[in-house]
């Protein structure tokens, strides 16, 4: 009788399986692979962008050179303009005249503003006087308002004196005496034409303001 030993070996147990990496290491390797792929893709995109930028720059330089050549060609076709000496002289003279005119205008404007300010009370206070039966038709201011002439109409001669007295109560007319008082009967009209003048009879007016403006 012979004895035979039978032995069974299970090759499917963990003992006979090939060694495997831990799960954390496998996850790390996967992440590293993805990062490497993204980096490679980024490098490729950067290279493509650089090539495209270089192409655009080259195209721009070519266009610039083409435009410069066109400009040079046009400049050769048309000679440079030369100012005529006579016209240049006239232009200089016109500029000088314009500058002088501007100086005169500025001076006159400043002078007129000062005069208007000083004459404003004389004009404004004419409307503050109670003038029943009196109508002003115009006035003149002489010597920067030192002398005054009033012209108008009156229903009766007796109304002139109260009007002069009321006018003298105004601050701008205080101290002004009317040395000339002329009354005339209007032709075919029931009213009188009067003129009141603070100047001496026969005095010349070197500078006047008529109807609110200087004459």
How do residues 155-186 score in pLDDT, each as one tens digit?
888 999 999 999 999 998 888 888 899 998 88
171 domain-assigned: yes
User: What are the beta bridge partners of residue 195?
Assistant: 151, 182
* Cα four-point dihedral sign 122, 124, 127, 130: negative
First-to-last CA distance in the chain?
165
Answer with the residue of higher pLDDT: 11 or 55: 55
Domain harbouring 176, CATH code: 3.30.1360
State how many domains the chain has: 2
On whether both 124 and 195 belong to a single domain, the answer is: yes
pLDDT of residue 150: 92
Task: Report the range of poorest mean pLDDT among 52-66, 96-110, 138-152.
Answer: 96-110
pLDDT of residue 136: 87
Q: Which domain holds residue 70?
A: 11-75
């Amino acid at each position: 009788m012979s004895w035979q030993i039978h032995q069974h070996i299970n090759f499917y147990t963990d003992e006979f399986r090939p060694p495997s990496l831990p799960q954390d290491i496998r996850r790390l390797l996967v992440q590293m692979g993805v990062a490497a792929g993204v980096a490679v893709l980024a490098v490729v995109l950067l290279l493509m962008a650089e090539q495209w930028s270089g192409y655009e720059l080259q195209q721009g330089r070519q266009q610039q050179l083409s435009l410069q050549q066109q400009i040079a060609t046009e400049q050769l076709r048309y000679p440079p303009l030369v100012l005529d000496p006579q016209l240049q002289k006239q232009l200089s003279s016109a500029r000088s005249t314009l500058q002088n005119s501007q100086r005169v205008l500025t001076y006159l404007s400043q002078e007129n503003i000062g005069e208007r300010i000083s004459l404003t009370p004389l004009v404004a206070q004419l409307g503050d006087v109670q003038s029943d039966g009196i109508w002003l038709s115009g006035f003149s201011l002489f010597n920067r308002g030192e002398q005054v002439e009033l012209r108008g109409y009156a229903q009766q001669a007796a109304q002139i004196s109260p009007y002069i007295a009321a006018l003298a109560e105004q601050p701008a007319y205080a101290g002004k005496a009317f040395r000339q008082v002329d009354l005339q009967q209007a032709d075919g009209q029931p009213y009188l034409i009067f003129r009141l003048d603070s100047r001496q009879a026969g005095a010349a007016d070197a500078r006047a303001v008529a109807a609110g403006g200087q004459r």
